[in-house]
A and B are shown apart, each in its own frame.
Chain A
């Protein structure tokens, strides 16, 4: 090996890795983008807002509300009269007739509203717990 070859080999060994410069990290993507060849990112399916268990719980809540409404409409409770009973009693429920039985109707409405409000509260609470 002559002097020049010896020198070249030595310098090459020293500079082998250190001459290489790195472009920015996303260089390949930039080039592919410029060529219109960027890989299409898979569309992420959004996570369902509620799990199936929560959905079942909410559905059960709504069924309960419907059941309560049916109960009130059809009667069957000693203390709370059926709305149908009131309706039949007074034939056409005029404003006056309704006012006459306002206490009973109001009781029924308050019970329904409170029930609905409690169920809505439970619904919201369940969503919060599940989403946490």
Chain B
């Protein structure tokens, strides 16, 4: 959805009305912090990284041309900033074989629906934590804030097809872990 107020604020920032930046920080701080935390897995570092991100955004706001969503542009800076802090390559670019399609999703979602909300969230988060770092980051980015494959590709800087394949595979692993946690017979599901 187009945010007209956000566009006005960005235009104001471009004209040098620096105090309008408070609106941007207030609106996106939780999201920038979340992206940073998913990569860095340390709250203090994530907070420092988030601050750096906003500094960079402020300084390079003139480069934003409304070609993409402002949020995606911002998350990309946040993601790159956090990755740079880890001093390691989080995401690999080698192709991955596509996994088979999911089966018996209804049983799994049905089993999840039978749990209380807290328990449901706990089980899914536990399953995400069991994924490797790369898969967990992609899954978090994808399942969060209605991000599309294209958005995740822009944020991570990976090729869209590669993101598609990686998310497909990560989704499969998540499905498998959840099935284990919920005591469903995997052979029946896959």
Is A30 touching B51 in the complex (CB atoms < 8 A)? yes
B25 cross-chain contacts in A, Cβ below 8 A: 27-28, 31-32
A23 cross-chain contacts in B, Cβ below 8 A: 29-30, 33, 46-47, 50
Q: Tell me which of A14, A30, A32 contacts B121 (CB under 8 A).
A: A14
Q: Is B156 an interface position by the 8 A CB rule? A: no
Is A21 touching B47 in the complex (CB atoms < 8 A)? no
Chain A nearest CB from B10 CB (Å) reads: 16
Interface stretch, picked from A3-11, A49-57, A99-107, is A3-11
Q: How far is the CA of A34 from the CA of B22 in the complex (A)?
A: 12
Q: Tell me which of A7, A8, A28 contacts B26 (CB under 8 A).
A: A28
Chain A nearest CB from B173 CB (Å) reads: 12
Q: How far is the CA of A117 from the CA of B68 in the complex (A)?
A: 81
Chain B nearest CB from A55 CB (Å) reads: 41
Q: Chain B binding site: helix, strand, loop or mixed by DSSP?
A: helix
B114 cross-chain contacts in A, Cβ below 8 A: none
Is B112 touching A14 in the complex (CB atoms < 8 A)? yes
Chain A nearest CB from B160 CB (Å) reads: 16
Using an 8 Å CB-CB cutoff, how does the interface string of A7-24 with B read, 1 for contact, 0 for none? 110111011101111111
A10 cross-chain contacts in B, Cβ below 8 A: 105, 108-109, 112
Q: Tell me which of B47, B55, B105 contacts A6 (CB under 8 A).
A: B105
Chain B nearest CB from A75 CB (Å) reads: 72
Is A6 touching B144 in the complex (CB atoms < 8 A)? no
Is B109 touching A24 in the complex (CB atoms < 8 A)? no
**Size bracket, chain B contacts:** 35 or more
Is B34 touching A19 in the complex (CB atoms < 8 A)? yes
A6/B109 contact (C-beta < 8 A), A27-B33, A27-B50, A28-B22 known: yes
A35/B33 contact (C-beta < 8 A), A8-B143, A10-B109, A14-B120 known: no
Q: Is B54 an interface position by the 8 A CB rule? A: yes
Chain B nearest CB from A36 CB (Å) reads: 9
Is B140 touching A19 in the complex (CB atoms < 8 A)? yes
Q: How far is the CA of A18 from the CA of B125 in the complex (A)?
A: 9
Q: Is B101 an interface position by the 8 A CB rule? A: yes
Is A32 touching B143 in the complex (CB atoms < 8 A)? no
Is B47 touching A15 in the complex (CB atoms < 8 A)? no
> Can you offer 19 A-B residue contacts whose CB atoms are under 8 A?
A2-B101, A3-B102, A4-B168, A6-B105, A6-B109, A7-B171, A10-B109, A14-B121, A18-B125, A21-B34, A22-B30, A23-B29, A23-B30, A23-B50, A27-B47, A27-B50, A28-B22, A35-B54, A39-B19
9 closest A-B pairs by beta carbon, nearest first, are A23-B33, A10-B109, A3-B102, A19-B144, A3-B105, A21-B34, A28-B25, A7-B105, A31-B54
Residues of chain A having any CB pair with chain B under 8 Å: 2-4, 6-8, 10-12, 14-16, 18-24, 27-28, 30-32, 34-35, 37, 39
